[in-house]
């Protein structure tokens, strides 16, 4: 059995362990490592891990620390304590663990004072633009932690799948770049410990749910990052993994319960047939083959039907929101977890934090399946979901094809129009996260065959359409992955993030003219969203594309508006505005966002440059 790791978290060492005189070498590891007074739910379940602790009795020196139940499962090294926190005040509480009248362990458990108005924190929303970062590949702020003793996967910047050294300090160092560009949220791929033998940089094979990987930094440094980002007006979205763990997680050598891992802890691959969850003609066996199967042997699939594991994952999410002052959560491989658990998980999180935004990854191009998970959507099976947002993969796929395909009656821009016309299936289409690419697919510049005009149209659309836009790091400087779909290449190092880099995108040193043009375009669009919020939050109204021209509007009740014209043609197009009178009748003048050209919207025509996206502010 792996030696129990005695943890003194960087969260100000909230858990202190006192050894007994019986000669026990390892003290108890308690999860969550601390909690807070006055949380919405008055229940807390502690997982205690220590040699031979199962079957212990637990006593507390303070009567306000009310223990409802103490449980042992299959492992002799785990104990679960259900606590009624309704009367708990901030402070340290002494826990004593005994067997047959003999004290085995004692520990102090800390209940902290909750931050003011924490429950009402505002999550990310339509006003925001999310910057997605692969932290290992963004900026190396602290070279001293590139390789860490005791962790097998060492720094090797020359290997696409190796660790390159990017870290939390690098993110802190570049907060000014991110905020000055105009991004208002940062979603980082997972930063938790991944004690895997190789390819640990991506972060999705977690081996400790409560500890930042030391090659990235510490818990306290992550909290510092969140606080400093907040000072810059930037929120932090944490990437959470509920479906699986890394095969080097201590649970794989000592499971708290026999059914902790699906398929008895033995690899059995998922079918990836997410359709089985929604099939009215389907069978349960197909559903379980999807949900209970593993991605790969190195990612054991968690069984969230076990109520103790479900509680562990729910409390872990709440703990990080509270500890690191998060503005949102992105949930990896959302639909692969147990459906009933997902219902409970989202209900508990949104009950604790009514305004927190949570976006689930459901990688399908079928909008019916995407919509199923969002709160407020119609579901034939009456499934209860409190998930506020979903990644809009259908829009990503359609946008690329709409820009690349030939303009015909049924292809090209009309496919984008057709998809958006189906938004009625969503509980809230304006709260979907929209994007051109992410860390698991070719970069948008590559997908669009490195055509700058098509890239410009795609980014303009994403930053002026309905939904919450997400931009992958490097998109603003046209990072690409030509001739390779290797994830390590897609997630290449951001130039300038390492000492000695010949190109520095943070200062624009060494960038090509086209890269500078792209950066300035993104920065200008983000400034447009900030200076004219109607572009980001207004009602979306569009007209069916015709002759390679697609026109849509963002308007609000305050009399503000914006008109966006996409011209896919290879020549200048003259667009008569009379067709758009149902929207334009509220306005008298259109002013070009960039050229400041002003014209009357009555019976006017607008000349639009070839292969371009233009924005007009309406007055």
Instruction: Please name which of 241, 210, 488, 420 lies closest in space to residue 324, comparing C-alpha atoms.
Output: 210
- Rounded Cα distance, 396 and 444, in Å: 9
Residues 6+ apart with CB under 8 A from 94: 60, 61, 62, 106, 107, 108
361 is catalytic: yes
- Rounded Cα distance, 353 and 121, in Å: 7
Listed in order, strand segments (DSSP E) in 351-419 are 357-360, 389-390
Q: How do beta strands 433-435 and 468-472 pair?
A: parallel
DSSP classification of residue 86:
T
Using an 8 Å Cβ cutoff, are 77 and 4 in contact? yes
Residue that has been written with the tokens 């290992």 in this structure: 136
Residues 6+ apart with CB under 8 A from 561: 534, 538, 553, 554, 555, 583, 586, 587, 617, 618
Q: Can you read off the two tokens belonging to residue 279?
A: 């099939």
- Rounded Cα distance, 532 and 361, in Å: 30
Instruction: Choose, from 332, 362, 493, 560, the residue flagged as catalytic.
Output: 332
DSSP classification of residue 251:
G
**How many residues belong to the chain?**
619
SS3 614: strand
Listed in order, strand segments (DSSP E) in 369-412 are 389-390
Taking the CA atoms of 293, 295, 297 and 299 in sequence, report the sign of the dihedral they define: negative
Using an 8 Å Cβ cutoff, are 553 and 583 in contact? yes
Instruction: Choose, from 136, 344, 361, 560, the residue flagged as catalytic.
Output: 361
Burial class (CB in 10 A: 0-12, 13-18, 19+), 571: exposed
**Catalytic residue list:** 332, 361
């Amino acid at each position: 059995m792996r030696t129990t790791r005695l943890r003194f978290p960087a969260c100000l060492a909230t858990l202190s362990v006192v050894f007994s005189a019986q000669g026990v070498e390892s003290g108890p590891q308690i999860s969550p490592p601390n909690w807070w007074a006055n949380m919405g739910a008055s229940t807390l379940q502690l997982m205690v891990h220590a040699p031979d602790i199962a079957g212990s009795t637990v006593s507390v020196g303070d009567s306000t620390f009310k223990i409802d139940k103490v449980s042992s499962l299959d492992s002799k090294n785990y104990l679960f304590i259900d606590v009624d926190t309704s009367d708990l005040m901030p402070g340290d509480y002494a826990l004593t663990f005994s067997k047959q009248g003999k004290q085995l362990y004692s520990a102090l458990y800390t209940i902290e004072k909750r931050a003011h108005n924490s429950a009402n924190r505002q999550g990310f929303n339509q006003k925001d633009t999310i910057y997605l970062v692969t932290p290992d590949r963004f900026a190396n702020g602290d070279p001293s932690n590139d390789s860490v003793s005791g962790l097998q996967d060492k720094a090797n910047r020359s290997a696409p799948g190796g660790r390159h050294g990017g870290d939390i300090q690098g993110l802190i160092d570049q907060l000014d770049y991110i905020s000055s560009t105009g991004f208002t949220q940062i979603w980082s791929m997972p930063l938790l410990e991944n004690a895997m033998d190789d390819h640990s940089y991506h972060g999705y094979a977690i081996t400790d749910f409560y500890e930042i990987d030391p090659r990235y930094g510490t818990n306290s440094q992550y909290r510092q990052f969140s606080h400093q980002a907040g000072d810059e007006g930037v929120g932090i979205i944490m990437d959470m993994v509920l479906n699986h763990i890394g095969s080097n997680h201590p649970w794989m050598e000592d499971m708290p319960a026999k059914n902790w891992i699906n398929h008895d802890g033995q690899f059995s691959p998922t079918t990836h047939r997410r359709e089985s969850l929604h099939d009215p003609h389907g069978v349960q066996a197909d559903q379980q083959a999807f949900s209970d199967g593993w991605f790969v042997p190195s990612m054991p699939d968690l069984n969230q039907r076990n109520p103790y594991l479900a509680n562990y994952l729910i409390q872990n999410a709440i703990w990080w929101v509270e500890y690191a002052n998060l503005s949102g959560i992105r949930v990896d491989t959302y639909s692969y977890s147990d459906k009933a658990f997902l219902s409970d998980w989202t209900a508990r999180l949104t009950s604790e934090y009514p305004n927190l935004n949570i976006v689930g990854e459901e990688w399908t191009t079928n909008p019916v399946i995407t919509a199923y998970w969002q709160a407020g959507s119609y579901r034939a099976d009456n499934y209860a979901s409190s998930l506020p947002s979903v990644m809009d993969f259908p829009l990503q796929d359609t946008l690329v094809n709409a820009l690349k395909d030939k303009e015909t009656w049924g292809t090209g821009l009309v496919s984008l129009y057709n998809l958006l016309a189906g938004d009625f299936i969503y509980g809230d289409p304006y709260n979907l996260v929209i994007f051109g690419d992410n860390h698991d697919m070719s970069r948008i510049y590559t997908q669009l065959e490195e055509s700058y005009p098509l890239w410009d149209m795609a980014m303009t659309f994403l930053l002026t359409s309905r939904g919450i836009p997400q931009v992958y790091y490097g998109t603003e400087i046209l990072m690409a992955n030509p001739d390779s779909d290797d994830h390590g290449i897609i997630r290449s190092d951001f130039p300038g993030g390492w000492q000695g880099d010949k190109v520095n995108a943070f200062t624009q040193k060494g960038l090509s003219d086209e890269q500078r043009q792209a950066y300035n375009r993104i920065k200008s669009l983000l400034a447009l969203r900030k200076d004219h919020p109607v572009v980001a939050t207004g009602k979306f109204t569009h007209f069916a594309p015709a002759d390679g021209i697609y026109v849509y509007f963002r308007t609000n009740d305050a009399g503000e508006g914006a008109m966006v014209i996409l011209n896919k043609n290879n020549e200048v197009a003259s667009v008569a505005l009379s067709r758009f009178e149902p929207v334009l009748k509220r306005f008298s003048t259109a002013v070009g966002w960039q050229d400041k050209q002003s014209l009357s919207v009555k019976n006017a025509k607008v000349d639009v440059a070839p292969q371009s996206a233009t924005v007009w502010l309406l007055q």
